[in-house]
Every structure is written in C-alpha cells, then in structure tokens.
Structure 1
Amino acid sequence: MMHCGKRHICAVVACLLIFASILICSRKGTQLQNIITRKIFPQARTVSPESQLCRGKPAQNVITPLKDNRTFIIAPYFDDRESKVTRVIGIVHHEDVKELYCWFCCQPQGKIHVSKSQIEVHSDRFGFPYGAADIVCLEPQNCDPTHVSVHWSPHGNIDQLPRFEIKNRKAETFSVDFTVCISAMFGNYNNVLQFIQSMEMYKILGVQKVVVYKNSCSQLMEKVLKFYVEEGTVEIIPWPINSHLKVSSKWHFSMDPKDIGYYGQITALNDCVYRNMQRSKFVVLNDADEIILPLKHPDWKTMMSSLQEQNPGTGIFLFENHIFPETVSTHMFNISSWNTVPGINILQHVHREPDRKEVFNPRKMIIDPRKVIQTSVHSVLRGYGKSVSVPVDVALIYHCRVPLQGNLPRESLIRDTTLWRYNSSLIMNVNKVLHQTVLEAQQ
C-alpha cells in the first residue's frame, strides 16, 4: 500500500506538470505559467521588475522641477571615480537652496535609504541667481541603488516624489569615438544650410554622434533634425528651460538680468558629458556654427592620437576660436541650389579676423569625459589630469558668424582656405541631405 501511494502521488505530480506545460504553450502562456508555478511550487516567486519595486512617480521630462521651484533635476549619474556616489546634474538657486536629500531605492529589496547631499553650485554662474549644480550623495553600503528621488527634507512621502533612474550604473564599451554636444538650440533656430554643412563636416572629421539640446527651431530645421535622427547621427534632448525659468540669451547677468544665463547652456553641457561618459571615447563641446579644423591631420582621430601621444595623461584639449565673418564672402562655391536654403554657406567665408593681443581668445574643447568632473563653456572647472592648449598651427576653430571686429577693412583679414580641402566631399554630402530634406519640401 505504501509503495502504491507513492506511485499515485508521482502520477498526480506528473499529470500536473504535463497540464502546466500545455497551458504554458497557450496564448496566455506567460500569465498562466506564473499561476501554475506558484500552485505547484509554493516557494517560487516571480521577481518584480526593479521599476516596480522602486516607489515614487517616474520622471517624465528632461527638466523636472521640485515642488520648492528653486531646484530643477536633469539626471542622476553613478560616479565611482573617487568613491561610490550618485551625482545628480541640476539647476539650483545659489542662495535659496540650502539642503537636499537623496532618497535611494536599494536593490534587490526596493528599500528606501535617505542620505544628505552635498550641493556643489558651479563657479561659472556669471552673476545669475540660478546656476548649474551637482547634487552629490554618497551611496549607502550594502545597497545597489537603481533609482533615486531628491527632496529638501529627509522626511516625507516617497510616493509623491519624482523618481529618476541612475545612469552609468553598468560599465559599457565605447560605441563611438567622437560625440559633439550642441547646447542649446534656441530662438527659433533657422540657420539650416550652415547646420547641415557643420554636421557633414563633423562626419567627415570622424564624428558618429551629435547631441542637440533643443529649445526651439523652425519647421524646416525640425525636418532636417528628423532626417539626422533617423540616420542615427543626432540625438535630440528636449530643453524647454524657458517653461521653468526666465532665461537670458546673454552670457552675463549684467547684460540681461534674468534667472539663468544663455538658456542653461552650462547645465546642458555637463549633462552631455555625463550622458556620454561611458559610450564615447571623446566628447566635443562646441556650437553648431563652430568646426575644429585640423591643419596637420586629415581628421580628428589621427589628430587626437598625435596629441595624446605628445601629451600623456592629458584629458582636456583646448582649441582657439577664430572668427570668419559672415559679412565677408568670396564668389567661389556659389551653388545655385543652395541659394534657396536659409542660412550661411561656409565655403564662401574664408577670411578670418586677426588676433587682438589685448583680448582673450576663448577656446572650445575636445575632452576625455572620464577625466572631467565639472565643465564650463570655455574650460573645465574640475577634472583629473592636465589641460593642453592646442597650437593654432595644429588646429583652430572655424567660427563663421557676425564679425567681432566689424570695422576692419578686407585687406586686414587673413585668407584661410583650410576648409576647402574638404570641399568635394562636403558639397556631395550636403547635396544628398538637401535633396532628402529641404529641396524635397520646396518641390
């Protein structure tokens, strides 16, 4: 009887397992599998996704205001270069924000751990009341936080707080060599031809990714951006900062006293550095009307290999800005199909302003993002290793814009046709893009 009872139990279990297998293969397989597994093996539990374990409201936008309306969160990033911290890139009022706390969601239990942050307002605030800030929290021991909330108090209801996923938690291999960060596109930007020319020059020079922090642009520019997004070159970060703060289009408070300068450019640049820290070997910080032109090398890869070899341990390379005034042009490369496209044809502007000894020539940068802690527009504020100013006979920034020395006669300008070395490839590539975007829309 005892032996027969065991056989009976085995048969029942076998039948249940067969029945379970049949149900699992049905249309509702996944759902039924969980139910059956729990019934046959009561110890088994379906693991909830991490986002379900972490409480709080998932942040929906790139710029998230806290309820104090003095703090704006962009994104948190894991940073273990000195100690295990979560570095939250944000914007704060430099006087009014005194205390902030990180509410960590620890895995695998989803428990909440609260720790006080260190608020580091970046030194380059240029007199504006709001500035870029790092909200830095030491991560708790025996905790592998996947998400964090930020609050001005260690007490409160976590379910009412916005929840952010902590980026850069997992190490990645570089997917690209060069990423260009452009911040911010604003003022209903419509310099379409120059933007396309810059994009195609970046690609010729070795860029695989361009990140654009977009505030506003024309409908035609939207079409061009859509083309580059679908191509896989451009990543758009929506940047509606004027929905939250009174923004200045000037760099200093004395020139236009608003809440924050130049559409929060510095905050966007810092976010771009951390966003690309693990996926790009180099990050290039310049504007859409600027191109770093190598004079001794055919592209950025060979240029940077040479510069790194000559300057071991250097992670910040600064390039001199040179103005090529849009008011001075040549009759060369007057391409008729381009004349209907809004914007500047850079191939027609090859005269640059001479240096002024009494005026500092600002620089833009190619950086190793892993060696940068905080950056400004023309220099790195905090970083590791050395900075090097690249000589103008190695490379310079081609910056085609309104003149800074508008009263200079043409003969005082320096004719510099370095850009023309790339003219055949540039013209061909620009034409391809125009025919698929702007010229197609005009037909």
Structure 2
Amino acid sequence: MVRLSCRPRLIHFLFLVLFIYLFILFEHSFLRNERLRDDLKLLQRQLIYEKPNPNWAYNNTWQRIGNTTLRHEIYSAYFDVRTDIISNVQLDEHQLTVGSLRIFAILPERLRDSRVSCIVRYADFSSHEIVAEEAAAMHDVHNNSFAAWSIMCPLQVKKESPLWLPQEVALSYASNRASHVSPRFIQISYPRNMSEMFNKSRATISVCVGPLQENYSNVLRLVEFVEMYRLQGAVHFYFYYVEASEEVRRVLDHYQHLRLADVFEWNVQAHLQDVHYAGIVAQFNDCVYRANVVDNHRYAAVVDLDEVLMPLKHNSLADYLRQCDEGRTSGFVFRNVFFYRRDSNDTFNAPGHIVNRVLYTQSKVRRTLEVMPAYVRSKVVVNTRAIVEMGNHQVYRSAPGFVDHIVHQTVGLLFHYRDKCINCKMVLIVDYTARRFGSLLFDRVDGTCLAVFMERRGICTLA
C-alpha cells in the first residue's frame, strides 16, 4: 500500500523535472536566438550595399503573372532590412540573412497553392528561387473573389563586401504554371540613398491617399486637402489614380513638379468588380512600404481625400507627434466624426479678396455629436518602420515591440467630410476647430489654383 501511494508523487516529481528541463532548454534556445539576431543586426550595418539599378525610377504598374487569362497581377517589391519580422534567420561562416523582399499582388482570395516562391534575378541575369515564408491574402477582402496579397521571402546572401543584392523578382506557384516557365520580373525598390538604409528615419510626415477613381474631378477638394495637410506638417504625398480628369492631373503634375508628390498609375481596371475598393489595401501597404523603404519618412498618414486628421490640443499633426510619440507606437488611431456635404455652407470666415471661397473644411462647421468606436471608419498615422500589414482603418500587424495607440477623442479626431450621410438623423454640433487654419489655407489654395489655372484667373472648379 505504501508503494502505491508513493507512485503518484514519483510521477509528479518526474513531470516537474521534465518541465524544468524543457523550460531551461527553451530559455537557452530563446537567448541563443536573441544573441543570433543581435549579432546579425550588427553585421548587417557593417556591410557595404551596392544598389542593383541606380536608374530605377520607382514607377510601378500592375502586370500580369504567367497565364494572362487567370488575371493574376503583381505590382511592387521592397527590400526590407527588418530581420525581427523573419521567423528563420541565418548567420554562419558562409551566409547571412540581410532582410526580406515584400511583394504586393492581386491573386484569388483562395489560391490553391500551399507553396509560393520568389525567383530573384541579379544584374548579371543569374537567378535563384526562394520559398516564401509568408504568402497570404491581406485583411479587408469583403467577400470578393480576388484579394490583395502580401508575400515575404527572406533574403540570404554570401558574406562579402560589397554585397550583391538582387535587381528583380518574380512570383512562382504551381497553379499558374506559366509563372515559372515565363516569370514576370519586376524591379525591387531600394532606398533612393543606400547610405540611409540603417539610419534613423527622418521625423517627417508623408500622406498616403486612397486611389482616385471614377474619373475623379473635384479639383478644389484636392488642392484644399494637400494644403491643409501641409499646414499640419506633411512634407510629401503619394497619389495613385485609376481614373482622374485632365484638371486633376494638372494639379497632380504641379505638386509633382514641386517635388511634393509622387503620382502612380493604379491600373486595376480588370479587378474593379472583384477586389475591394480598387485594391485599396494593396495600395495603402505599397504606400507605407514606399514611404519607409524608398524615402525614409518616419510617419505616413493613411487617409482619403475627404478625411483630415485633426489634433484638438496641439497646433498641428506634426506638433502632436513630436510631443506624444514615445517611439514604440505602430499607429495613432483617430476616431471618426462626420461632416456632411448636404449641410448648408457657412462662408462667414472667407476673406473678401478670396476667389475660391467654398472650402469644405471651412464651410462645413457642423459635425456629428457621436464619435465612432476605434477601428470603425477610423484612420491612422503610422510609424512606417513598425508596419508589417496595414488595413484601411487600422494596423493589422506590427513589428515586434510596437503597439497601437487610440487617440482620446478630446485630443484628436478624424474629420470626415462625407458626401452622403450614413444616418441623416444623427445629432449635429457646431465645431470650428478646422477654422484655425482658415487664414493661411484660403491664401494657399488661391495661390495654387492661380499657378495651375492662370488662364481662368485661378478659379478651381467644384465637382
């Protein structure tokens, strides 16, 4: 009887010993992995990187992959130096992981392939295949048959300096046989200045604007949008267009000539009916990676043309970020309130000499009392180096160590100037916050309209 009573104690003791052993093994493995990653980051920064194509102009367009009847498309690829977002890194006497390639594509939401590969090609036309560590449809599919996809392939290279990096990449997978037989290569985007690759990001704000489509023609709103965000501290804008009027293109060309904007063709006409909102998720992710990798902007405001991120206790968005960003925030989430186009215009504050008097941020002064919950129609200004996957209204995946911050409704709001009301019976209150920019905004809008449309004395037409 004594022996029987002692057996459970022995089993518990053995389980305890096994647990301690496994814990020590895990702790040792974890510490070894952390040391490996620290050594890898140190070695990364000691190498000299050669830019494969110094003449690459970063002008991407959607291109068909393999069998054209399948309507699989690829848009862009970025070299990402962050090794902490790669599950399996390598560092030995022969090779090391220097980063990864992040590729954006439009593929069927339910692609049959369990394995997707990247075919990388170098300037001397040599190539090899890398199995993707990540390949999946991104969020916000909304029951469409096609989706925006994000593919990540880790990049291992020989330990040598200068270090040869691939110039182009293509996707390959079994269900599209032609993708391997006749791969569609696209240029890989690297920093404009390779010496800044590991530098601290510039504390500047860029703006990622949702795709212009349906022959977008509201010139005055476009100019006001740009000038409002410039007053808030933004220094660069990224525009993508499906369709836009000739007048809108003239305004975009003007800002591009001033080096305030990059403008890209977003030729997704083949998927306007079967991918969510003209592939906006792919576009926002492309923009955030572009702002980070190519131009080294620390911040990107991810918004549409009818949305203004409005700090309530700080003079501008730049002031808010300068004072409130402690360095580990992936995105500052601004909750949504509506102003409605159908509401009457109040032009009381428009100076007498102004030509373009009906600015939406100045003439619409009544907003909804209700502040919508975070992540419901909210918009975000992100730390670009923290983003792995961006959504339309929220950050879906951040790099390790970064978290969202929901901006309190007394500190900042998203002012959404919507053409059609969601609930026309919602309670409205007067809010003059945006008018603190009015004096400078009116002058800037008139100045831009005159520069672009001098033949009609600086009148920007309303759509």
Report the TM-score when normalising by structure 1: 0.76
SS in 1 for 2:129: strand
Post-superposition offset of 1:165: 2.2
Matches for 1:54-65 after TM superposition, within 5 Å: 61-65=60-64
SS in 2 for 1:184: coil
> Which residue of 1 is the match for residue 217 of structure 2?
190
> Which residue of 1 is the match for residue 412 of structure 2?
395
Distance 1:207 1:59, change over 3 A: closer
> Which residue of 1 is the match for residue 146 of structure 2?
130
Post-superposition offset of 1:50: 5.1
> Which residue of 2 is the match for residue 45 of structure 1?
none
Query: For 1:212 and 1:157, how far apart are their aligned partners in 2?
Result: 30
Post-superposition offset of 1:134: 1.3
SS in 1 for 2:209: strand
- What code does the residue aligned with 1:146 have? Q
> Is residue 136 of structure 2 the alignment partner of residue 120 of structure 1?
yes
Return 283-292 or 70-79, whichever deviates more: 70-79
> Which residue of 2 is the match for residue 305 of structure 1?
322
- What code does the residue aligned with 1:138 have? P
> Is residue 258 of structure 2 the alignment partner of residue 237 of structure 1?
no
Residue 426 (structure 1) aligned to one of 441, 447, 451: 441
Which runs of 5 or more structure 2 residues have no equivalent in the other structure?
A: 1-50, 87-98, 159-163, 459-463
Post-superposition offset of 1:211: 0.3
Distance 1:337 1:262, change over 3 A: farther
Determine if contact 1:374/1:380 at 8 Å carries over to the other structure: yes
Query: For 2:285 and 2:226, how far apart are their aligned partners in 1?
Result: 21
**Alignment deviations for residues 334-363 of structure 1 (CA, whole Å, 9 cap, x no partner):** 57887779x853311010012177997421
Distance 1:337 1:424, change over 3 A: closer
**Alignment deviations for residues 109-165 of structure 1 (CA, whole Å, 9 cap, x no partner):** 542111222422113211111111112222244263232222335998989433222
> Which residue of 1 is the match for residue 396 of structure 2?
381
Q: Share of identical aligned residues, percent?
A: 21
> Which residue of 1 is the match for residue 72 of structure 2?
71
Query: For 1:164 and 1:383, how far apart are their aligned partners in 2?
Result: 26
> Which residue of 2 is the match for residue 10 of structure 1?
none
Query: For 1:286 and 1:95, how far apart are their aligned partners in 2?
Result: 28
> Which residue of 1 is the match for residue 302 of structure 2?
285
Which runs of 5 or more structure 1 residues have no equivalent in the other structure?
A: 1-48, 53-57, 248-257
Return 223-232 or 58-67, whichever deviates more: 58-67
Determine if contact 1:200/1:429 at 8 Å carries over to the other structure: yes
Determine if contact 1:71/1:91 at 8 Å carries over to the other structure: yes
Query: For 1:291 and 1:357, how far apart are their aligned partners in 2?
Result: 15
> Which residue of 1 is the match for residue 104 of structure 2?
89
Matches for 1:252-271 after TM superposition, within 5 Å: 258-271=273-286
Query: For 1:203 and 1:289, how far apart are their aligned partners in 2?
Result: 15
Determine if contact 1:50/1:110 at 8 Å carries over to the other structure: no
Structure number with bigger Rg: 1
- What code does the residue aligned with 1:85 have? S
Report the TM-score when normalising by structure 2: 0.73
SS in 1 for 2:210: strand
> Is residue 342 of structure 2 the alignment partner of residue 327 of structure 1?
yes
Matches for 1:22-171 after TM superposition, within 5 Å: 61-68=60-67, 69-81=70-82, 82=84, 83=86, 84-98=99-113, 99-106=115-122, 110-117=125-132, 118-142=134-158, 144-152=165-173, 160-168=182-190, 170=194, 171=196
Query: For 2:112 and 2:73, how far apart are their aligned partners in 1?
Result: 11
Query: For 2:351 and 2:455, how far apart are their aligned partners in 1?
Result: 17
Distance 1:403 1:351, change over 3 A: farther
Distance 1:401 1:426, change over 3 A: same
> Which residue of 1 is the match for residue 42 of structure 2?
none
> Which residue of 1 is the match for residue 237 of structure 2?
210
Query: For 1:280 and 1:358, how far apart are their aligned partners in 2?
Result: 29
SS in 1 for 2:211: strand
Distance 1:399 1:336, change over 3 A: farther
Question: Considering only aligned residues, what root-mean-square deviation do their CA atoms show, in Å?
Answer: 3.1
